[in-house]
Each structure stands twice: as structure tokens, then as C-alpha cells.
């Protein structure tokens, strides 16, 4: 990870991630073209991007790539807290990337992929003032988007090492 990527990640994960263990590969995890080109994989605490989408430093790339990077960092965080990312990712049937924020619904109530987008959207809104770049388009024009995200993420924000935030 670059210094910029670590700084960007620390805004969200603090010290809950051991950044020295994180590798970002300019190559796919699956062999023989089995990994879709526009799909990154983070099954083991390391990120694997197709070379066409790999960035030397995601912290200095565009908002879409930063959102993608933060989504993958969520899988790093999940893995480092011993959530079975690889096993669960192998059986992704029914794992929606979409999410709906509702009062009382916390981050641990969402599946691993939705968590990735919630936390990535939180990063964009809180630290980049980029509500327009959120994954979940229904919140892009919602002036309360940050309040809704912070409510869903309250336990995570308070202590990102708390395993109750995992799916």
C-alpha cells in the first residue's frame, strides 16, 4: 500500500487493519480469465485487480476508483477480523451490493458486499464531500445521507475492531 492509500484507509478503519499485511496486486486472483475483468477480488486480505483497472496509487485516482478501493478495503477489514471472506465470497448467490438504510438497521445486519458499499459510500460522503459519487444512487441527492450512514455505522465508527459489525 502507498502512504496515500494507508492514510485514506485510516480515516475509516483507524488501527483496526494491519496495513503492513495488505497487498494490492496488479493481476487477477483467478487464473485462465475466470475473474471478470471489471471485478476485483479480496479473498485473503489482499486485493487482486485486473491490470486494466489497477492503479499505482488509488488515493490519487478518481472518486469511482477510490470507492472501489474502499469497498475492497472492507473485505480486508472483514478478513482481518476473521470473517470467512473467501468461503462466503465463493457462494455469492443472494449477496446484493445494494442497500437500504433504515432506523435501527446497523452495519452488522448487512451482507459482506453491501457492507463494502456502505462503508465506501461513507468514506465518499464524510471525507470527500462526494455524495454525487455514492454507489447507492437513491442517496446521492439526500441531504441526510451522512446522518443515515453514520447511524448505520455507529458501532463501527465507535470501534472498528468490534466483531459485531461483521455480517
Give the model's pLDDT for residue 94.
60
What is the band of 40 on the pLDDT scale with cuts at 50, 70, 90?
confident
Task: Give me the active site residues, please.
Answer: 72
pLDDT in tens, 1-39: 999 999 999 999 999 999 999 999 987 666 656 555 567
In angstroms, rounded to a whole number, what is the distance separating the alpha carbons of residues 96 and 114?
Answer: 6
Domain spans, the chain:
3-165
More confident residue, 104 or 94: 104
- pLDDT at residue number 7: 99
Amino acid at each position: 500500500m502507498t502512504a496515500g492509500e494507508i492514510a485514506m484507509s485510516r480515516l475509516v478503519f483507524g488501527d483496526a487493519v494491519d496495513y503492513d499485511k495488505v497487498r494490492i496486486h496488479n493481476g487477477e486472483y483467478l487464473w485462465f480469465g475466470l475473474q471478470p475483468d471489471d471485478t476485483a477480488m479480496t479473498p485473503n486480505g489482499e486485493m487482486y485487480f485486473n491490470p486494466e483497472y489497477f492503479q499505482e496509487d488509488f488515493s490519487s485516482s478518481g472518486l469511482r476508483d477510490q470507492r472501489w478501493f474502499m469497498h475492497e478495503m472492507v473485505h480486508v477489514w472483514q478478513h482481518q477480523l476473521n470473517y470467512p471472506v473467501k468461503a462466503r465470497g465463493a457462494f455469492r448467490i443472494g449477496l446484493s451490493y445494494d442497500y437500504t438504510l433504515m432506523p435501527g438497521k446497523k452495519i452488522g445486519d448487512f451482507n459482506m458486499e453491501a457492507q463494502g458499499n456502505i462503508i465506501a459510500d461513507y468514506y465518499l460522503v464524510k471525507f470527500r464531500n462526494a455524495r454525487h459519487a455514492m454507489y447507492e444512487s437513491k442517496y446521492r441527492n439526500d441531504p441526510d445521507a451522512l446522518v443515515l450512514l453514520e447511524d448505520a455505522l455507529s458501532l463501527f465508527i465507535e470501534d472498528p475492531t468490534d466483531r459485531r459489525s461483521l455480517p
